[in-house]
Chain A
Amino acid sequence: DAGVTQSPTHLIKTRGQQVTLRCSPISGHKSVSWYQQVLGQGPQFIFQYYEKEERGRGNFPDRFSARQFPNYSSELNVNALLLGDSALYLCASSFRKGMGTGTSARDTQYFGPGTRLTVL
């Protein structure tokens, strides 16, 4: 099975512009999470979506938004880009095993290759 895919691989934007990043989860995975990884740091949680609903949000400004589609793919949008938004944006998908709905802390997240965004 294919892993998590993300597009585009690289992006160069200028300050003030808007950007949309895309993610396709592993087949059968209904949860998608987005992370920002600044150079030299660990990934920071931005959003989590499950069954097309936002289930969690990290400490990021409202310039960041996301959505999940009926096929469980997802988009991350960032408006009014700042130089500090330059980072690797990682998408992860997970599969909820066992009983219950929603997501669980035990669900392993599988990451895509990321989109490297450079803001000039």
Chain B
Amino acid sequence: AQKVTQAQTEISVVEKEDVTLDCVYETRDTTYYLFWYKQPPSGELVFLIRRNSFDEQNEISGRYSWNFQKSTSSFNFTITASQVVDSAVYFCALSEAGDSGTYKYIFGTGTRLKVLA
């Protein structure tokens, strides 16, 4: 069964520290997509990144970087030099094709990141 595990429920760091959010997934498919979303207190899920199962290159976008390791079924997210505005709940999600050409996201339970000034 598809599953996404975010073992870290809550992380607190001091501003300017680096922090890594872990994501481990389970799937039997060879083709799948992984996503990270940020959910600030307002509630809206903000898309951060999409990665397909065939592309294991790490990606960097500003202070954000992602490490995808198929061998360990992990897709970790690192924020460098964290800022107070990074405080939010972060979700990792897995997308697989379902029946009748449908697909759905399987979300992890999220990691609440608190960045203290």
Contacts and interface: CB of A to CB of B under 8 A. Distances in A.
Contacts of B102: 48, 50, 55-56, 102-103
Interface in A22-57: 33, 35, 40-45, 48, 50, 55-56
Given A45-B105, A58-B104, A112-B44, A106 B33 contact: yes
A106 B104 contact: no
A24 B84 CA distance: 32
A88 B42 CA distance: 11
Interface residues of A, number: 31
B31 interface: yes
Contacts of A44: 107
Contacts of A90: 43, 45
Contact of A103 (B4, B45, B52, B103): B103
Interface string B68-82: 000000000000000
B103 A104 contact: yes
Interface residues of A, dominant DSSP: loop
A94 B85 CA distance: 27
Interface residues of B, dominant DSSP: strand
Contacts of B52: 106
A110 interface: yes
Contacts of A102: 101-102
A112 B50 CA distance: 18
Contacts of B96: 105
B97 A108 contact: no
Interface in B90-117: 91, 93, 95-110
Interface of B: 4, 31-33, 35, 37, 42-47, 50, 52, 91, 93, 95-110
15 contacts: A33-B105, A42-B107, A44-B107, A48-B104, A56-B99, A56-B102, A88-B43, A90-B45, A92-B45, A101-B101, A103-B102, A104-B97, A105-B95, A106-B33, A108-B50
Given A33-B104, A114-B44, 10 more contacts: A40-B109, A43-B45, A43-B107, A45-B104, A56-B98, A56-B102, A102-B101, A106-B50, A106-B95, A113-B42
